[in-house]
Each structure stands twice: as structure tokens, then as C-alpha cells.
Amino acid sequence: MAIFLKDPAAAIDYVVDWQADYLAGQTITASRWTVDPDAAGGLAVAVATHDGGRSTATLTGGTPGRLYRLTNQVDFSDGRRDSRTLDVRVEDR
């Protein structure tokens, strides 16, 4: 499992490329991002977008030394649903 590093002052895009896994002609119809733990002053999703096969979240903030779990849940055009979780550690860089 990879841990992604983020500076608390940075606004960085994180992408889940669903078409690389198994879309096979399907598209993303809805995408939701959650952060755990969800706390004031913690890591936040500032902007969330998706296109046919990729979901993107722009992350801001975060407490240095803290590990966050960023989860992307998507719905596909055939009615299926899936999710992926990324571990993001915030460090002063």
C-alpha cells in the first residue's frame, strides 16, 4: 500500500483512474469523496470532479504528522458501485 505525502499549505489534485481497472465501455455517473478523520482544520476536499473514467479531488489543509484516509466512491452507468481508498500523510515539506 502506498502512502501519498501532502504539505499542509499545498492544494494538490489526487486522481483515481477507474478506466485503467475495468470500465470496459461503462462511464462514471456519480463520484463522492470522503476524508477520515473529518475534523476542523484537517484535510479537506476543496473541489471534486469526474469525467467518463477518472475522478479527481483537490485536497487542501491537513495537520502535519497526521494520516488521513481519502475514499472515492463512484456509481457506473451500468448501475454498479465501487470505491477506492488512498492514504495521505500530511508533512511540512
With beta carbons less than 8 A apart as the criterion, state whether 6 and 90 touch.
yes
User: What's the total number of domains in the chain?
Assistant: 1
Range of the domain at 32: 3-90
Q: What is the CATH number of the domain that holds 17?
A: 2.60.40.1220
Q: What is the pLDDT of residue 85?
A: 96
Q: What is the pLDDT of residue 5?
A: 96
Query: What are the tens digits of pLDDT across the range 4-34?
Result: 999 999 999 999 999 876 677 889 999 999 9
The Cα–Cα gap between 68 and 85 comes to 10
Q: Which of 11, 10, 16, 52 is nearest to 33 (CA)?
A: 16
Average pLDDT, the chain: 93
Q: What is the pLDDT of residue 86?
A: 95
Q: What is the mean pLDDT of residues 55-72?
A: 97
Q: Which of 86, 92, 23, 20 is nearest to 57 (CA)?
A: 86
Q: What is the pLDDT of residue 20?
A: 76
Residues in the chain: 93
Confidence of residue 1 (pLDDT cuts 50, 70, 90): low
